[in-house]
Structure 1
Amino acid sequence: MPVLEWTALRLKGVDIADPSLLKNLSDVRERLQTNSVFYHCIEDPSLIYILGLWPSLEAHRRFLNSPERDEVLGAQESQLGFEGTVHMELDTMDSLPLDAPVMAMARLFIQDDCVDAFTRGLAEYRQTFIDGAKPYNVVDGWRIDAETGKHESLLISGWTNAQAQIKFMAKASEHAGFAATRANCQRVEVRHAYNMEKQD
């Protein structure tokens, strides 16, 4: 199955509104044919996220280890610092809530002995979350490049604005499935972002 690349990059010496930033990102997308989208973090305006689809994890790794890498990424690396990348299986970019004004991206870190309980809780709660995010999509999956013995679940959802997701999650704490899911997480990181190419 294809895999989603979710990469966090930090602005360095460039403003988010600088036209050259989006041009360089777009040029890389065209070269790599990953159908990537570019999101700007609301909580930390110095962060941007690239979400793109690769045929496989191995395909992305081959590119990163190839001589072509420096040629393709060189222009954007003068503007952006690498923060981290995660991968999860995803059938198509259309599964993402790309039509939503705001995307919520959650990373849930689960203890090794809590994976089964977490999975049961999420299965019980998932439909409630999907209903709450409507009309926007919700996708989730396991990180496939986690270190041995570590487990990370990724949850991506669309919302009208960041506050809508925050309010929904506050109310969701009353749901037994959500409580079970949250109780089995060592740590949860949630960021909200908007599409850099759809700014009004």
Structure 2
Amino acid sequence: MPITEFALLRLKEQEPSAKTKSSLRDVVKQQSAWSKHPVNFLRQIEDSGLVYLLGGWASVAEHFGDWITSAPNQRLLAELKDAIDIEWLFHLDIDPSARNIPLDAPVLGITRYFVEASRKDEFESIFQAGAPHLGEYTAPYSYAGGWRIDKDGEDEEFVLFSGWNKVEDHFGFAESDAFKEFGKIKSAIKGAEIKHAHLEKWG
């Protein structure tokens, strides 16, 4: 199954220059042509200097073995080395072909759940039971989640993408009756990080 690339970039410029924006648009063009999957940038709302990249690959090996060392990617990295830093990069078992990450929403909620390996099954069971309640609240936007493939240590990580009209709606869900079932997920995690972003076209 194809996988989703998930990366966080730090902009070195307060606002990207025309040259940087052109290079980032070129990343979208070149990488999507290579991988045959869409590439999207999302600007974090909490810190506008942070940008997420979402892409797709047939496998981790195709990404790291083929694309990373390719001439087009090396050229783009050289162009952008003074403009961005890569904070982290990993892959999720979300099929990008399904296009179920709600990029059509005005705000994309990004929640990283940190789970002890021994509680992965428990987390999945609670998530499956509570997810329909989340879906009722995010409608008409959807949600999609997946496990991190290339783990950092023994623990597991589950990343949930959810669509919202505004940030306040996401936090409002935590205060709603619909959250009662979904909120049971707290008992199966070590911690969580919640951020929000919106699509960035670099126009």
* TM-score in same-fold range (> 0.5): yes
CA distance in 1, matches of 2:179, 2:89: 33
Supply the AA of the counterpart residue of 2:55: G
Identity of aligned residues (%): 26
Q: Give the TM-score normalised by structure 1.
A: 0.89
CA distance in 2, matches of 1:140, 1:172: 22
Aligned length: 197
- Deviation of 1:198 after TM superposition, in Å, equals 8.6
Consecutive unaligned residues in structure 1, runs of 5 or more: none
Consecutive unaligned residues in structure 2, runs of 5 or more: none
1:46 and 2:45 are equivalent in the alignment: no
- Deviation of 1:170 after TM superposition, in Å, equals 3.0
The correspondence for 2:39, drawn from 36, 41, 44, is 36
CA distance in 2, matches of 1:23, 1:198: 8
Match of 1:8 in 2: 8
Distance of aligned partners of 1:56 and 1:121 in 2 relative to their CA distance in 1, 3 Å threshold:
same
The RMSD of aligned alpha carbons is: 2.1
- Deviation of 1:65 after TM superposition, in Å, equals 4.9
For 2:176, what is the secondary structure of its paired residue? helix
Supply the AA of the counterpart residue of 2:136: D
Cα offsets for 1:119-148 (capped at 9, x unmatched): 111111011111111111210111111135
Cα offsets for 1:34-87 (capped at 9, x unmatched): 421111101112101111111211111114652534223221222111100121
Contact kept? 1:13, 1:79, Cα under 8 Å: yes
CA distance in 1, matches of 2:98, 2:107: 16
CA distance in 1, matches of 2:62, 2:183: 38
After superposition, residues 112-191 of structure 1 pair within 5 angstroms as: 112-147=117-152, 149-171=154-176, 175=180, 177-191=181-195
**Deviant stretches of 4+, over 2 Å:** 18-22, 67-70, 169-174, 177-180
